[in-house]
Structure 1
Amino acid sequence: MRRCSVPPGDDVVLRVENLVKHFPLKGRIPFTSGGVVKAVDGVSFDLRRGETLGVVGESGCGKTTLARMLVGLEQPTSGAVRFGESVVHEAKGRELRALRRRIQIVLQDPYTSLNPRRTIREILFQPFEIHPDVLDRRRRLDRIRDLLDLVGLDADLHLDRYPHQFSGGQRQRIGIARALALQPDVIVCDEPVSALDVSVQAQVVNLLERLQEELGVAYVFIAHDLSVVRHISDRVAVMYLGKLVETGPEASLYDTPRHPYTKALLSAVPVPEPAGRGQRQRILLTGDPPSPVNPPSGCRFRTRCWQATETCATTEPPLAAGVHPVACHFPLAA
C-alpha cells in the first residue's frame, strides 16, 4: 500500500480544469450527421509532485483520450491542461518544446511504440536530437547507458539490438527509459502493462515505483486492472462515460467505495485467498454501457444503477469537493 510523500495541496505540477473532448460524427457513421462522441466531458483534477494518480474505468470511458490531451497529442474541445504557467494545448514554438520535455508518455503497446527500423541506441538518442540543448553531445552516450541501467537493461548487450530482439517486458522498459531521457516532471502511463504477462506486469510496476522514489516524477497511471492500480497509486479517479464519478485516496476508495459503479467494479476484482471468495457480494450490472453519442440525462450511470430514482434522471450529480468526492445523489455509506 502506497502513501503519497507530498501533503495534499502542495506542489501541484499538473492541473486539469473542466476538460472536454467531443469528436464530430459527420460523414463517419450513417444517420448520425451532426452528432458528437462525448469522449471526455468535464474532467478536473490536480496532480502533485511525486504522486501517482490512478485512472480506472471500462473500455470506452475516455481514459486514452484523456491521456492524449494531457500530453498535447489531442486538442480539447474546451477546458485546459495547465503545467505551471503554461496551457498545454495553447503552447507554441519554444514554449511547446519546453513542455514536451516536462511531460512524457509511456504508450500501451510495447510492440508498436518503438520504431522497428532503429536500434535501441538510435531510439534513445532521438530525444536529445530533438532537444539538443538538454545535454552536451559528448555526454549523451553515457546518459543513455545510465538510462538502460536504471531500467534494468545491460547497455553492452542491448544498445545495438532492434526492438524485435526483445521481450515485451524489455520493450516496455525501453519505452520507460525513453520517457525518462529528458528528466520530465510528469509521465502519463496509458495502460503500460496491459499487453504484458502477469509476472512481467509486476516487474514493470515495481520499476515505476522505484524510479518515482529515486527521481520524484509524478505519474498519471491509466489502467483497467484495479489490483495493479491499487498497488501503485496514491489517489484513484474512477471514470464512467467521459466523467469522473469518484476520486479519493487509494485506501479510502478501495475500502469504502461510495459510488455504486465503483463498488460494482471492485466486486469483480479476483480474490486471491480461497477462503475469502465466498464473502464478497458480486454485483452484476445489467445492460450495456450507454452510447457516448447520446448519454442518459442526469446521472449517466442511472440506467445500470440499482438505486436510481427520478432525481437521478433529471439532475446531474456534481463531483463535490473534499478528500473523497463522489458524483452521486445517493452515495453509499462510508
Structure 2
Amino acid sequence: MPPSDDVVLRVEDLVKHFPLKRRGSLRAGGVVKAVDGVSFTLRRGETLGVVGESGCGKSTLARTLVGLEKPTSGAVRFGDSTVHTARGRELRELRRRIQIVLQDPYTSLNPRRSVREILLQPFEIHPDVLPKARRLDRIRELLDLVGLDASLHLDRYPHQFSGGQRQRIGIARALALQPDVVVCDEPVSALDVSVQAQVVNLLERLQKELGVAYVFIAHDLSVIRHISDRVAVMYLGKLVESGPGAGLYDTPRHPYTKALLSAVPVPEPGRRAQRQRILLAGDPPSPVDPPSGCRFRTRCWQATDTCATEEPPLAGPDHPVACHYPLAA
C-alpha cells in the first residue's frame, strides 16, 4: 500500500445496486448489481485506468465516485472526508476537489450557454475560490491550457465547435477549480481516432503540469495502456485483476483479462497470425442474477466445481487477481 499521505482517494468495498421496477412497483428482491464490492486507492498525480466490456459497471462507478449516485454500501474517502456523508461546507469543498469529465461532449455542455458562461459557472457556484475581477483572466488561462484561443472561442456556443473542441471545453471546466482528482468517464469514446490521441495527450500534459490524479474509464485497451500507471479490470460489477499497466498487459493473470487483450486489434499483419485469439463462449450473465462463486466461471475455459461454490478474493501484493487458478506470470 502507498503511504497514507500520498493517497488522495480511497474506495472501500463500494456497492451500488439499482432496484428493478415492474409496472410502477418494485419487484421483491430484484436489483441490478452494477457495482458490487470495489476497492482501490488512488495516489496523487497517478492515473488509474478502469477497463471492461460494456455493462460491467464502469460508468456507475464513475458517477458514484463523484457523488452523483449514492452507494448502497461501502465508502469513497477523500482525505479525512467521506464523499456520501459530507454535508455543508465539507461537501462543497469535496465537490470542488473531485471533478468529472463526461463521456459525450455533445450533451455534457449546455447548448444555451456560451463558453464564457460555461466556464464562469464553477466560480459562481464556488465564489470564494476566486475574486470576480480575476475570473475572466482565469477563463482565458484555462482555454489556453487546453489549446483553444480565447479571443476566437470565448463567446461561441457548443454547436459551433467540433467534438474534440467540445471535449477540451469540458476538460477546462473540470480543471477550473484546481481539483486534486478528475474522473474521466470514457472521455474519448465519442471522438475520431486522431482526435482521441489529441485529447489523451492533452490529459497527460495537464497531469504533468498540474499534478492532478485521474480515474480514467474506457473500454479501449490501447488508450488505457497509453495513459495509465495502473490498470483495474472490471467484470460484472467486480474488479477481477489490477496492477501496473506494463505488468498487466505483458503477463495477465486472470482468464478474462487475457481474453480481453487477445481482442485488441494488431496493426502489423505478420503478428496477427502469431497471436492466439480467445473467443469466450456465451453471453455475459445478467447483473440481476450473477453466477455463484466466480462470476466469470460460466465463460471460463478452466473453471471447476470450486469456482461455482467459492468466490475468489482479489488477492496479491503488487498484481492482485481474483481467480482460483490464475494464469502463470
SS of structure 2 residue aligned to 1:89: coil
Question: 1:290-329 residue pairs with structure 2 within 5 A?
Answer: 290-329=285-324
Whole-angstrom distance in 2 between the partners of 1:230 and 1:286: 26
Measured after TM superposition, the shift of residue 274 of structure 1 is: 1.6
Does 1:238 find its partner at 2:233?
Answer: yes
1:34, CA displacement in angstroms? 2.8
Indicate yes or no: 2:325 matched with 1:330: yes
**What residue is the counterpart of 2:222 in the other structure?**
227
Q: Of 16, 19, 33, which residue of structure 2 is paired with 1:21?
A: 16
Percent identity between matched residues is 87
Give structure 1 stretches of 5+ with no counterpart.
1-6
Residue equivalent to 1:3: none
Counterpart-to-counterpart distance in 2, 1:31 and 1:69: 22
- Aligned AA for 2:84? H
Distance 1:31 1:308, change over 3 A: farther
Identify the residue that residue 276 of structure 1 maps to in structure 2. Answer: 271
State yes or no: 1:96 paired with 2:84: no
> 1:206: which partner in 2?
201
Which of 132, 135, 144 is equivalent to 1:140?
135
For 2:25 and 2:67, the matched residues in 1 are separated by 30
1:170 partner amino acid: Q
Counterpart contact for 1:26–1:34, Cα < 8 Å: no
Q: Distance in 2 between matches of 1:15 and 1:273?
A: 40
Give the alignment partner of residue 110 of structure 1, picking from 105, 110, 114. 105
Structure 1 runs of 4+ off > 2 angstroms?
7-10, 26-34
**Cα distance, 1:93 vs structure 2:** 1.1
Letter matched to residue 13 of structure 2? N
2:243 to 237, 243, 248: 248
Equivalent in 121, 126, 131 of residue 126 of structure 1: 121
Where 1:34 maps in the other structure, the secondary structure is: strand
TM-score, normalised to structure 2, is 0.98
1:26 touches 1:33 (CA, 8 Å); kept in 2? no
* 1:67-114 deviations in Å (ceiling 9; x for gaps): 001000000000000000000000111111000110000000000000
Contact 1:119/1:161 (<8 A) preserved: yes
Q: Which one-letter code corresponds to 1:303 in the other structure?
A: T
Equivalent-residue separation in structure 1 for 2:188 and 2:237 (angstroms): 22
Inter-CA distance 17–28: structure 2 relative to 1 (3 Å threshold): farther
Answer whether contact 2:254 2:322 (CA < 8 A) is retained: yes
Q: Contact (CA 8 Å) 1:185, 1:218: kept in 2 or not?
A: yes
1:273 Cα deviation after fit? 1.5
Aligned pair count?
328
Q: Is 1:63 matched up with 2:74?
A: no
User: Cα offset for 1:272?
Assistant: 1.6
- Superposition pairs for residues 130-209 of structure 1, below 5 Å? 130-209=125-204
Alpha-carbon displacement from aligned partner over 1:159-204 (angstroms, at most 9, x marks no partner): 0000000000000000000000000000000000000000000000
1-structure distance, mates of 2:127, 2:79: 23
Match for 2:161: what amino acid?
F
Write the distance in 2 (CA, Å) between the matches of 1:178 and 1:327.
37
Please state how far the C-alpha of 1:8 moved relative to its aligned partner: 4.2
Q: Deviations over 1:274-297 (max 9, x none)?
A: 221111100000100000000000
TM-score w.r.t. length of structure 1: 0.96
Taking the aligned partners of 1:55 and 1:28, their CA distance within structure 2 comes to: 35
- Aligned partners of 2:20 and 2:26 also within 8 Å: no
Distance in 1 separating the partners of 2:316 and 2:250:
20
Q: Which amino acid in the other structure matches residue 186 of structure 2?
A: E
Distance 2:103 2:23 in 1: 26
Distance 1:263 1:321 in 2: 18
For 1:64 and 1:24, how far apart are their aligned partners in 2?
Answer: 17
**SS of alignment partner, residue 286 of structure 1:** coil
Cα offsets for 1:184-228 (capped at 9, x unmatched) = 000000000000000000000000000000000000000000000
Stretch of structure 1 that moved more, 26-35 or 106-115: 26-35
Could you tell me how far apart the structure 2 residues matched to 1:31 and 1:86 are?
33
Specify which of 256, 264, 268 is matched with residue 259 of structure 2.
264
Q: CA RMSD in A?
A: 1.3
Compared with structure 1, are the counterparts of its residues 63 and 280 closer, same or farther at alpha carbon in structure 2 (3 Å cutoff)?
Answer: same
